[in-house]
Chain A
Amino acid sequence: MSQTHAHGAEPPVQPFESVVIRFAGDSGDGMQITGNQFTHTSAVIGNDLATFPDYPAEIRAPAGTRPGVSGFQVRFSSSDIHTPGDQPDVLVAMNPAALIVNIKDLRPGGIVVVNTGQFTDGDLKKAALNTNPLTDGSLKGFRVIEIDINKRVTEALKSTSLSSKEVQRCKNFYTLGLMYWLYNRPVETTMKWLDEKFAKKPELAEANKLAMQAGYNAGDIHEFFQGRYEVLPCTSMPKGEYRNIMGNDATALGLVAGAQLANLQLFLGSYPITPASGILEALAAYKHFGVITFQAEDEIAAICSALGSAYAGCLGLTTTSGPGMALKTEAMGLAVSVELPLVIVDVQRGGPSTGLPTKTEQADLLQAIFGRNGEAPIPVLAASTPSDAFDCAVEACRIAVQYMTPVILLTDGYIANGAEPWKLPEIKDLKPFPAKFQESVPEGGFLPYSRNEFNARPWAKPGTPGLEHRIGGIEKAHLTGHISYDPENHEFMCKMRQQKVMGIRETIPTPPVLGDSTGDVLVLGWGSTRGAITSAVEELRKKGKKVSALHLRHMWPLPKGLENIFANFRAVLVPEMNLGQLVRVLRSEYTQHNFISYPKIQGQPFRTSELTKKIESILEK
């Protein structure tokens, strides 16, 4: 692309280590696409990055209103980062509602780019504003860049045959172009994406390209900014090949990989639910891997079909979010009873009930570990970042197949929709765990409820001659699997199932401590709080504080050796996006230690600053 400079000299390019941009607009303004494109381009030029999409549950809330505001925050950096940042450096606000909802987060002195074309009296009224924030002094302390994007896009696209409505839908690419100019990034990646996206409507691809180009050129021509900035590629990340990945996509890839490592066909039974649908959508495109995706009539049919497929010899899989987990509960109990491999992915969102469908939360932990009728132990894993979801999905498959058990994998909305660079694994480093089917009648006859070294029962799939047997949810006699109401047998079987699941800890590592193994405060996290905890602990350690962090992946059973780690700290701080669920488990499992709960339940991830403040307050005690 040619870069014209109408006003002579190149503006100066100033380097920055790390920048946070938040794109905010109406939920129909395409802010998620804009953010994702900026992220993708930044990934391709080699920045480390983290994203935080934050959008309403309504597809299109009334236009211009505060509830309809959709935001996408991206942080890109030349050094290792762990979070999308506490405060944006730049806010792009497409209308008054987007401005007023987000301005409180902008760092003092930060840049706010405002689309003045959307600041009529009517627009202000829709945003419930009595005065215009552009003139009433409320933007004091920020660098305000006012651009009538509506008008500029209309001008840029006047040669096209698009309707004025279609023209206005290209506004987001104008802002994207402007941000590409400001941070000195190439437009080619997005150009290519537009060509692919609108392959069947080339006029729309062309229009969006024109809008983006206009935004880019505007940076040069109009001198909105005193200069341009640069964030160099991050070279401190471990060497290797990377790609940008979102959590739901990484989960889907991990499940495909897990099924391959188990040498099994993957069968997904699922019912669309926010924010988990992305996994179903991703896996539906992997039919050439033999993946069967079944969009069931409801959440219950989804898990039941998956468990049926497991009986027939597939790796069963179901994916959902909180309300769907509640519906699947009975079938999970059956999976415990019939002991078949089944992976249940719960992309947690704000609850209870419908709760906050598009916001993140970690409040399904106790449901995952304990929430079933009867003694129904199920191993539980939790992914901590978008790319970690890949590894956790593989691990969930391993446990399911090796132990003939349902396994719950917890992610959350923050992981599902967030993105980060993923250091691609070497396929040869992924250790296979091939499923072993019972294929012939063993000496002495086939016993469907006999046990191997993992206490797992044999898996004989229908179609195998001589191994015909019946399974079901009624208590089974040890070894034969026949219906049994015998009191001693029931106790034996309950203990056996418990013992089998607790035995998994023999195959899981003690997680490493970040920082020194002794100190004042150990910050113990799980799930998506990892980024914020790591940032906070690194920051405090630089100040010489005796703070370390430990992050759990295996939530149940808990790994061995934790008590020895806890013993080396004065206090163990447990931040969670719930009212204190892990801390309850810890207090019952490790009665000797001082656990301090730090709950946050706002549908928003922890900020690094919140954690440093909390840790410092404990250090002062």
Chain B
Amino acid sequence: MADSQVLTKKDFKSDQDVRWCPGCGDYAILNCVQGVMATLGIPRHQLCFVSGIGCSSRFPYYMNSYGFHTIHGRAPAFATGIKTANPNLSVWLVTGDGDGLSIGGNHMAHILRRNVDVKILLFNNEIYGLTKGQFSPTSPQGIKTKTSPMGSVDRPFDPVSFALGCGATFVARTIDTHQKHMEQVLLAAAHHKGSAFVEIYQNCVIFNDGAFDKVAEKTVRDDKTVDLRPGQPMVFGKNHDKGIKIDGWEPVVCSAAEAQTWRSDTHSPGPAFVMSQMDSNPELPRPIGIFRDVSAPTFDEGIQQQIQKAQAARGKGSLEKLIHSGETWTVS
């Protein structure tokens, strides 16, 4: 039996050829996820990957686990059905900025609001890849694409802000090229009970190459990002000499010594929201890591508890009794 053995990354690779473009950030994410699964030691048969439509949504085919490649934008609804039907499964949802925030924005909002115990990986490449290069709801304003030859007029939204606004109980961000960071974030997400939303900056080499270079490229990354680690000071920079503190209502750069300790479990998601809006200020480093991690009852548990409670109070339903309930009469 597979579950009595020690699992390795290889155990989670399916027999299907991976068909993403050479150099796509998705490869790095797939590799990391397979490693994390081995670390977690979840038996393959208890694992279910669910996706919608888009490049990222081919993900389940490449995992040697149960998987359901569904329809555009609706993966959160499928995942809710699967997890609620069988809470013992470890359910992972893979989506993108178009699938998860455009056509499927409604469902994303509601799975987070309900706190269904599903791990959500949103690959954000700020572009529509599978339809060959149109702007997405996370593309920067003014981006020139085939459908926006004069630059897009749309204002983007920030996936982390979105998730926080939906009341998500776990929200994090990581980067496809930062394997070690991604691994830590995914492990934390896996250990969180409830919806865990992870935005992954993912480079689309064909249609939006280098979209995150300014912050995520390896040579600038340390100076341009700050890793939010719960309970740790918000220190950043190649030499760990800079920090972030909240001055009044605004985050500002300070010395490492002055750096404020990050808390992901404040009563209000306000601090996390403030951090998520640092993106819009190019003077500030881009926060990655764990924005929010609080515990709350999960939807799937709540549903199961009600069923148990009803059965305890009324006994397991009898069809005979049910049909004969209400006032009956006999024709003889």
Task: Give residues in A with beta carbon < 8 Å to B.
Answer: 40, 43-46, 189, 233-235, 237-244, 253, 256-257, 260, 265, 267, 269, 286-292, 294, 296-298, 300-302, 304-314, 316, 330-331, 334, 338, 424-425, 427, 461-474, 482-483
B67 to chain A, nearest CB (A): 4
- Among residues of A, the one whose C-beta sits closest to the C-beta of B91 is A462
Contacts of B284 in A (CB 8 A): none
> Closest 10 A-B residue pairs measured CB to CB?
A308-B81, A472-B69, A289-B317, A305-B81, A304-B77, A308-B78, A287-B310, A301-B77, A470-B67, A312-B85
7 A-B pairs within 8 Å (CB atoms) are namely: A294-B80, A300-B77, A306-B81, A312-B81, A424-B328, A472-B69, A472-B70
B326 engages A297 (CB within 8 Å): no
Contacts of A291 in B (CB 8 A): 307
Interface of A is mostly: mixed
Q: Per-position contact with A for B315-332: 1 when CB-CB < 8 Å, else 0?
A: 111011011101111111
In the complex, A469 Cα to B320 Cα: how many Å? 39
The answer, yes or no, to whether B64 is at the interface (CB within 8 Å) is yes
The answer, yes or no, to whether B61 is at the interface (CB within 8 Å) is yes
Q: Which of B67-85 contact A (CB under 8 A)?
A: 67-71, 74, 76-82, 84-85
Contacts of B109 in A (CB 8 A): 297
Supposing A287-B310, A313-B85, A468-B66 touch, asked if A483 and B61 sit within 8 A by C-beta, the answer is: yes
The answer, yes or no, to whether B298 is at the interface (CB within 8 Å) is no
A44 engages B82 (CB within 8 Å): no
Partner of B81, one of A44, A267, A461: A267
Contacts of B78 in A (CB 8 A): 304-305, 307-308, 311
Supply 4 further A-B pairs (C-beta < 8 A) apart from A243-B326, A424-B323, A424-B328. A301-B107, A304-B81, A465-B2, A468-B47
Q: Which of B49-99 contact A (CB under 8 A)?
A: 50, 60-61, 63-71, 74, 76-82, 84-86, 88-89
Q: How many A-B residue pairs have CB under 8 A?
A: 212
Contacts of B309 in A (CB 8 A): 287
Task: Give residues in B with beta carbon < 8 Å to A.
Answer: 1-3, 14, 16, 43-48, 50, 60-61, 63-71, 74, 76-82, 84-86, 88-89, 106-107, 109-110, 303, 306-307, 309-311, 313-317, 319-320, 322-324, 326-332
- Among residues of A, the one whose C-beta sits closest to the C-beta of B328 is A243
Contacts of B64 in A (CB 8 A): 468
B86 engages A313 (CB within 8 Å): yes
In the complex, A324 Cα to B3 Cα: how many Å? 43
A473 engages B331 (CB within 8 Å): no
Supposing A189-B327, A288-B315, A304-B78 touch, asked if A311 and B44 sit within 8 A by C-beta, the answer is: no
A308 engages B60 (CB within 8 Å): no
- Among residues of B, the one whose C-beta sits closest to the C-beta of A472 is B69
Contacts of A296 in B (CB 8 A): 77, 110
Contacts of A44 in B (CB 8 A): 327, 329
Chain A CB within 10 Å, residue with most, of B60, B69, B329? B329
B77 engages A305 (CB within 8 Å): yes
Contacts of A334 in B (CB 8 A): 70-71
B145 to chain A, nearest CB (A): 26
Partner of B86, one of A234, A257, A463: A463
Supposing A290-B307, A312-B86 touch, asked if A43 and B327 sit within 8 A by C-beta, the answer is: yes
In the complex, A170 Cα to B80 Cα: how many Å? 45
B198 to chain A, nearest CB (A): 21
A314 engages B85 (CB within 8 Å): yes
B67 engages A316 (CB within 8 Å): no
A515 to chain B, nearest CB (A): 24
- Among residues of A, the one whose C-beta sits closest to the C-beta of B72 is A330
Contacts of B310 in A (CB 8 A): 287-288
Chain B CB within 10 Å, residue with most, of A314, A463, A469? A463
